Amino acid sequence: MFNKKAQVGETITWFVATIIIIVILAIAIFIVSSRIFENDKVLKVEKIDSDLLVTKSLLGYLLTDKNYDGFKEIELSEGVIDFDNAFFDSVFNLYKKEYSSNQVLFRINSEYEKWEGYSKSAGLPNKILLNRGGLPSNMRATKFFYESINLKNIGDKKKNTIIELMLN
């Protein structure tokens, strides 16, 4: 009698354990088959590294002579760029949905340098702040992208000019 009770108890234990195992597996299968992981399978375009269309717009912007009376190409090497805030805003307004751009930092340099390095190089301006007049102390690079462009088509002098554009 005593032995039988023990057997029944053991059977119930294993029966319950089996149910628990099956339930756990069923939950796991349900989670995997549901759409929770759907976004993992959609590869998104990361604009962090580069954005060709923004780069093209920036180049177009830099080449634009707003006081046009015959052609005058902007001399990037002298760092004399007349930034027209309203015009700049309207050009980059094209990307307001994609980037929350309230800050745009722009740097021209003669050779590859990391973003952190603001050192002057070859007499070129090390950094120029567009649009908001001064680098705010609380500026955080939460969202940025840059593109390296070889501007040799503008002139031999600027063969290795790099433009980095940063939206914050």
Partner 1 sequence: MKKWNKKGGDKVMTLYWFAILFLVAGAIVYMTALYYGKPYDIREIEANFLTNKVADCLSEGGRLVDNWRDIKTENFLQKCGLTFNVEDTEGWKAQEQYYVEVNFRKFDGSSVEKESIIIGNKNLKDFCDKEGVNLPVCSEREFYVLGPRNIGGEDKLKLDTDANTQYIIKIKSIVRKTEKNVQ
**Where along the sequence are the contacts to partner 1 (CB under 8 A)?**
14, 18, 21-22, 25, 28-29, 32-33, 37-38, 41-45, 52-54, 56-65, 68, 70-71, 90-91, 94, 151, 153-154
What is the nearest approach in angstroms of partner 1 to the Cβ of residue 82? 15
What is the nearest approach in angstroms of partner 1 to the Cβ of residue 23? 11
What is the nearest approach in angstroms of partner 1 to the Cβ of residue 2? 13
97 versus 140: smaller Cβ distance to partner 1: 97
Identity of the residue numbered 47: K
Long-range CB contacts (within 8 A, 24+) of 59-68: 59/149, 59/151, 59/163, 60/91, 61/87, 61/88, 61/91, 61/92, 62/163
Cβ atoms of 121 and 162 closer than 8 Å = no
Question: Taking the CB of residue 132, how many other CB atoms lie within 10 A of it?
Answer: 14
Beta strand segments in 61-120, E = 104-109
Which residues have CB under 8 Å from 139's CB, separation 6+? 103, 105, 168
What is the nearest approach in angstroms of partner 1 to the Cβ of residue 104? 14
What is the nearest approach in angstroms of partner 1 to the Cβ of residue 80? 17
Identity of the residue numbered 96: K
Which residues have CB under 8 Å from 144's CB, separation 6+? 48, 115, 166, 167, 168
13 versus 102: smaller Cβ distance to partner 1: 13
